[in-house]
Amino acid sequence: MDRVGIKKVAEHLKQNSDAQVIFMVGAGISTPCGIPDFRSPKTGLYSNLSRLGLPFPEAVFDIDYFEENPKPFYTLARELYPGNFKPSRFHYLMKVFEEKGRLHRVYTQNIDTLEREATISEKYLVEAHGSFASNECISCSKSYSVDRFKEKLEPVKIQHKKGEKDQIEFEYALCDKCDSLVKPSIVFFGESLPARFFDTWEKDLEWLKDKKKKNLVIVVGTSLSVYPFASLPSEVPSEVPRVLWNYEVVGDFHLNPRSSDVIFKGSSDEAAEELAMEMGWNEELRKLVGE
C-alpha cells in the first residue's frame, strides 16, 4: 500500500505547527463500525434495499416518498439507529486533532452521530445532512427527544387469542399532538441543508484564504456525489492543498485534479493509524479507541 499520501500530510503538519485541518467526510469513515455506506457495489445500502420495495434506492430518503410510504425509512432507521455502533479509529483521530489544537472543522454528511459519540465538540461540527440527534413532527413541528423517538420506533407486540402466535405489528412514529409522522432532523432529498452548513462554509472559506497558516482540507470516505456538499472541495482556494483518503478517486479530485492534491487510496482507519504514528499521537489515539 502506497502511504505517501499520509506521510506528506504528517510532514506538512509537523513543518507548519500552526496549520489546522478542515475534514470533509462521508459514509466511508463509518463502514469499519459496521454501518454500510450508500454507493459501494454489493455492500452499499442502495444495492441492498430491494427488500424494502422501493421504486428507486434514494426514495428511502425522499421527502415526498416518505410522506406517502414512511415504512422503508422507519425500517432502516431502526437498523441504523445511533447507540448500536461505536466510532471508528478515524473518528477518534479527528478528536485527537481537536485535542492537539489542530482541528478547524468537521463537515460530515453522516447521520450516524458518531462524531458526537467520539466527543468532538459541537463548535467544530457541521452535520450537513442533519442527524438522528433531534426529531420533529413533519406537520406541527413538535420536537421529540432521542429517547422518545426511539420508543416510538419500537415495534408493537400485539397479543392475539390463545393458541395463536403473538404478532409484531409495525407502527409508524406518530406525533402525540396531531398524529402526523415524526422524523429525525435528517436532510432528505427535496429538503434544504441546515443554515449552519452555508454560514459556516462562508466563514471557513475566508479562513482558508489566510495564506500565512498553511492549512489543509482532508476529504475522507465519500463518493462526492451529493450536492451541495460534493462541491466543497472544488471551492477550496488553489493555494490550500487538498487531501483525499478514500478507496477510489472521486469528484473534483478526479474531474479537476490539482498538482497540489495529495491522495491516499485506502481505508480511513489505516490512514488514521498511520498518521497517528507519523505524528507521535499513537498513545492518545489508542486511549480514545479504548485499547
Shortest Å, Cβ 25 to ligand OAD: 8
Query: How far is the C-alpha of 120 from the C-alpha of 103, rounded, in Å?
Result: 10
Interface with ligand OAD (CB under 6 A), residue from 39, 89, 95, 116: 39
The nearer residue to ligand OAD, 131 or 200, going by C-beta atoms, is 131
The nearer residue to Zn ion, 75 or 180, going by C-beta atoms, is 180
Residue 6 per-residue DSSP state: H
Residue 267: C-alpha distances to residues 10, 28, 88, 118, 162 (Å): 17, 8, 11, 19, 54
Query: How far is the C-alpha of 93 from the C-alpha of 169, rounded, in Å?
Result: 42
Shortest Å, Cβ 113 to ligand OAD: 12
70 in contact with ligand OAD (CB under 6 A): no
218 in contact with ligand OAD (CB under 6 A): no
The phi and psi torsions of 125 (rounded to 5 degrees) equal -100, 130
- Neighbouring-strand partners of residue 182: 137
Interface with ligand OAD (CB under 6 A), residue from 13, 111, 285, 288: 111
Interface with ligand OAD (CB under 6 A), residue from 20, 109, 135, 200: 109
180 in contact with Zn ion (CB under 5 A): yes
Helix 268-279 × helix 89-99 angle, to 10°: 30
Active site residue ranges? 129
* Interaction mask 121-160, ligand OAD, x per CB under 6 A: --------x-------------------------------
Write the DSSP assignment of 74-96 as a string of letters: HHHHHHH-TTS----HHHHHHHH
Interface with ligand OAD (CB under 6 A), residue from 37, 62, 204, 273: 37
Query: How far is the C-alpha of 144 from the C-alpha of 151, rounded, in Å?
Result: 10
Q: What is the enclosing helix (H) or strand (E) of 272? A: helix 268-279
**Interface with ligand OAD by CB under 6 A: which residues?**
26-28, 31-32, 37-40, 44, 61, 109, 111, 129, 186-187, 221-223, 225-226, 246-248, 250, 267-268
